[in-house]
Amino acid sequence: MIDGSTTVLVSCGEPSGDLYAGALVREIKALDGSARILGLGGEGLRKAGGELAADYGGLTVTGLAEALAVLPRSLATYRRLVAGAKRARPDVFVAIDFPEFNLRLARAMRRLGVPVVYYISPQVWAWRPRRLETMKQIAAHVLVIFPFEEEIYRRAGIPVTFVGHPLVDLATPDAPRDAFLSSLRLDPGAPTVALLPGSRPNELGAILPDLSRAAVLIRRDIPSAQFIVARAPNLDDRLFAPVSMMSAGGAPVAVVESRTDTVLASSDVVLTASGTATVQAALHERPMVIVYRLSPLTYRLGRRFVRVDTYGMANLVAGRRVVPELIQDAFTPEAVAREAVRFLADPQYARATREALREVRRRLGSPGASRRAAEEVLRIAESV
């Protein structure tokens, strides 16, 4: 500590991590108003009172092959953060998800004598289990957000706390369905399908075109269907060009930026890329069709390391497949449309799915995850 104040270095590398970082920083500031927080993040971190040592923009991709394109920028950002840590002398380093980058940065922090708290830890239960050994070497404490993760780290001898999922507090709409849909010139009484194609540019390129084609097919079976595309911030307009094929077919469609929870709360069915959005949809108890597609090379390289037979977090938390998943070659417009139409046309099936998602919500923990995480971060910082 410098002059009695706590300095926290934070690193997150994508919109979901930035959302969690912002919530964490607000809670740290509430507990310790003199704390200084700086690091890698985005608007969420900055608006909460953190200092941006570097912006994650341009660093976020999915896949092994895709990561090569951002390697030069990633290395430059890594060096900047290490140099900044040498100057600022943080009391604790909080790594939030983003393991390809953060594990390396955490090693550097450990060498500098900075204790590491890993928040939203690597998914060692899904793939690359050897990362548990790395975590054991670098982490003073791990804060996990899914209930089944705690025992995995505990068995490995790694200090761990299940804090619950921060989205339990954060996944709240900013307007009721009727008012929101009316503001978009959509019909509050019409079947509404939400499209969540991901937050990374390469995700949108691989996923949005076929989701848009699926929407056209859904409209053929459900002529009254209307569509909302949830758009993550800081994305090029050209990535959303496929949306035009929906409107060209006469379907009412709106694109909404940075209001994912309101989009979800106002929908009847969700077509979503696998990832954080599946947890948000589960918290809103919305029937969903989970999709994902990587480049063929990345998929072939990564497939041999995958240890689970389901990908969507809603299904993993449930311990069974409660919503359909269409991954890689199974992800076709026809398959997506078929699953979505079933939700829209079969009220009993949709109701049973909502009940299963209600149990997923319960398993994600009680409100207050960000406060509990902040308390642990400050405890580690103060123990130095």
Q: Which two tokens stand for residue 290?
A: 């989970």
The per-residue pLDDT for 311 is: 75
Q: Which fold has domain 177-363?
A: Rossmann fold (3.40.50)
| Residue ranges for the chain with pLDDT beneath 50 | 2
Q: Which fold has domain 7-164+368-382?
A: Rossmann fold (3.40.50)
Q: What are phi and psi of 31, to 5 degrees?
A: -85, -30
The per-residue pLDDT for 233 is: 87
Phi-psi group of 4: left, alpha or beta (phi > 0 → left; psi -120 to 50 → alpha; rest → beta): left
Helix, strand or coil, per DSSP, at residue 12: coil
The per-residue pLDDT for range 23-48, each reduced to its tens digit, is: 999 999 999 999 999 999 999 999 99
C-alpha 95/C-alpha 167 separation (Å) is 18
Query: Under 8 Å CB-to-CB from 361, ≥6 apart: which residues?
Result: 168, 282, 283, 285
The per-residue pLDDT for 124 is: 84
The per-residue pLDDT for 297 is: 56
The per-residue pLDDT for 130 is: 85
The per-residue pLDDT for 14 is: 87
For every residue of 244-286, DSSP letters joined together read HHHHHTT--EEEEES-HHHHHHT-SEEEEESSHHHHHHHHTT-
Q: Which two tokens stand for residue 102?
A: 């953060």
Query: Under 8 Å CB-to-CB from 71, ≥6 apart: which residues?
Result: none
Angle at 57 between CA 53 and CA 63, to 5 degrees: 120
- Check for a shared fold between 7-164+368-382 and 177-363: yes
Q: Which two tokens stand for residue 30?
A: 């509430």
Buried b / exposed e over 287-324, threshold 16 CB at 10 Å, is bbbbbbbbeeebbeebeeeeeeebbbbbbbbbeeebbb
Locate the domains of the chain by residue range.
Answer: 7-164+368-382, 177-363
> Which DSSP symbol is given to 384?
-
Q: Within 13 A of 15's CA, how many CA atoms are on the CB side? A: 17
Q: Which two tokens stand for residue 279?
A: 């947890």
The per-residue pLDDT for 215 is: 97
